[in-house]
Amino acid sequence: MSSDDEASEEVSRTLEEAFQLCGRFIPTDAFRLHIVTWNVATAEPPEDATSLLQLDAQPPTDLYVIGLQEVNATPVRFITDLISEDSWSHVFMDSLAPRGFVKVTSVRMQGLLLLLFAKQIHLPYIRNIQTTYTRTGVFGYWGNKGGVSVRFSFYGHMLCFLNCHLAAHMNNALQRVDEFEYILETQDFDIYDTPQIRDHKVVFWFGDLNFRIADHGLHFLRSSINSGRLNLLWGKDQLIMMKKKEAFLQEFEEGPLNFKPTYKFDRNSDTYDTSGKKRKPAWTDRILWRIKPKPLPSEDDDEKASTSTDEEQDEYPVLVTQDKYTSDMSYGVSDHKPVIATFSLELRKVFDTPLVRVSPVGIWSADQDALLTYSVLEDFMSSTWDWIGLYKVGFKTASDYETFVWVREKELPEINEVIQVKWKCSVYCHINKFFMNALFINMRACVVADFYIRRTHVKLHSSLKTETAFEFCFEVVCFGSP
């Protein structure tokens, strides 16, 4: 082969590799995640939680995940909270709903509470939500310690959030590791491709993990904290030490501990414990994350099969970048300070089409019956228990509906089949709110659709002599029934 032919072949090979490489750089989207963990020590919530949520942060937040420990769980209070939302959930919903956030789901085990909020524009693409819990207190029979989790698909990417409260006291570091491993191994989800926590593409682990700072005396601890030499304490942090010993812990990443230890404080102060016990300060409250490792090829897999697996795994990667890891010292209702972490999730959407399309028929008026049509665009587990609800704009959760109708009584819709649903004017003419949301509620799926209807001006009632509007948005699917 001549030198010219060799050069030509080399150029062709280089161009082919370049085109293949360019094909992998498919545009991605970045989403902002805000996580809060706080042991609230049975306290009532503060009136203002805005600084905790950093509502004006830029770029704006897309998902809020809030994990609380030691929420007041006395028998009477716990039963009351089961009947209606607990006071902590109310505070966060009141702060976030005006900003366009909806509480997607929550899970509680005694004092452990985990809340998921999402911007309304993302609701159609949050699917397959499941929650579960694991008790580790009193040999696994009591839920004062353990973990609660929520998993869901976000634009096709499997995410899991785990809020834990592990065993207390300095000498129980090994027990804390054992409890966490037990939670990872025993929590199961009814999803074939992600049956356990570590099967998810990204896992966020946070809570009052209760790891302490070993060996150092109280004077050295406080001196290092007051002088800002926090790095002197990192080497004796029990979680950092355990990560060096336990392989499964090494899969979890954590940002640098550049904020003061968050436990233990005198309440309503920035002063570390002055009681007779004089607890040593510690970073008990932590936020970590794990990206699912690529599977190792088995000895029986040939090279071609291994390459295909790698390419399949990398087709929809998720890049996780921690933007902030800090505490908020301004809150004093508890003997712990809350910890905040914000992340950028850069991903390529696996899907960006809703499962269901809904449209109003004609102009809705308060003095006549109205029609909606809906059609299923993709196959999903629909149910005869599915329903459509009307919501005031600014609704906080799926249970805030003003009225609802069942979507189909006897049979389930086929793909692209157009179904009509009638609304009696008597069920919505009383609503003293003219801008509304319409939500499709499904027993098993999560959010299924997204649409926005132009404003329409109609006369509400001949005696009112005024014009106003209904505005309908079909946005979300949630668990449960009305």
Residue 199 DSSP class: G
Which residue in 67, 162, 55 sits closest to 119, CA to CA?
55
Residues 160, 264, single domain; the answer is: yes
417 band by pLDDT with thresholds 50, 70 and 90: confident
Lowest mean pLDDT among 60-64, 167-171, 213-217, 451-455: 451-455
pLDDT at 428: 56
φ, ψ for residue 261, nearest 5 deg: -50, 140
Which residue in 342, 304, 349 sits closest to 326, CA to CA?
342
Rounded distance, CA 24 to CA 356, Å?
Answer: 30
Lowest mean pLDDT among 113-117, 209-213, 377-381, 424-428: 424-428
pLDDT at 204: 99
Last residue of a domain, one of 293, 313, 347: 347
Average pLDDT, stretch 449-461? 39
Termini Cα distance of the chain = 77
- What's the pTM? 0.85
Residues 139, 285, single domain; the answer is: yes
Higher-pLDDT residue of 392, 54 = 54
Which residue in 129, 123, 62 sits closest to 448, CA to CA?
123
For the ranges 23-37, 89-103, 449-463, the one whose mean pLDDT is highest? 89-103
181 band by pLDDT with thresholds 50, 70 and 90: very high
Instruction: Name the pairing type of β-strands 63-69 and 29-39.
Output: parallel
Domain that holds residue 40: 25-347
Rounded distance, CA 213 to CA 224, Å?
Answer: 12
Angle at 59 between CA 56 and CA 62, to 5 degrees: 85
Long-range contacts for 78-81 (Cβ within 8 Å, ≥24 apart)?
A: 78/110, 81/108
Does the pLDDT value for residue 383 go beyond 80?
no
Last residue of a domain, one of 347, 379, 395: 347
Residues 418, 389, single domain; the answer is: yes
pLDDT at 116: 98
412 within some domain: yes
Residues 384, 320, single domain; the answer is: no
481 within some domain: no
Average pLDDT, stretch 162-178? 98
Instruction: Write the burial class of residue 26 (CB in 10 Å: 0-12 exposed, 13-18 middle, 19+ buried).
Output: exposed
Per-chain mean pLDDT for the chain: 82
Q: At which residue do the structure tokens 């491709």 appear? A: 193
Last residue of a domain, one of 298, 318, 347: 347
Rounded distance, CA 174 to CA 168, Å?
Answer: 11
pLDDT at 217: 95
25 band by pLDDT with thresholds 50, 70 and 90: low
The answer to whether the Cα torsion of 49, 52, 57, 60 is positive or negative is negative
292 within some domain: yes
Lowest mean pLDDT among 194-208, 242-256, 362-376, 435-449: 435-449
pLDDT at 7: 64
Rounded distance, CA 136 to CA 210, Å?
Answer: 14
Does the pLDDT value for residue 328 go beyond 80?
yes
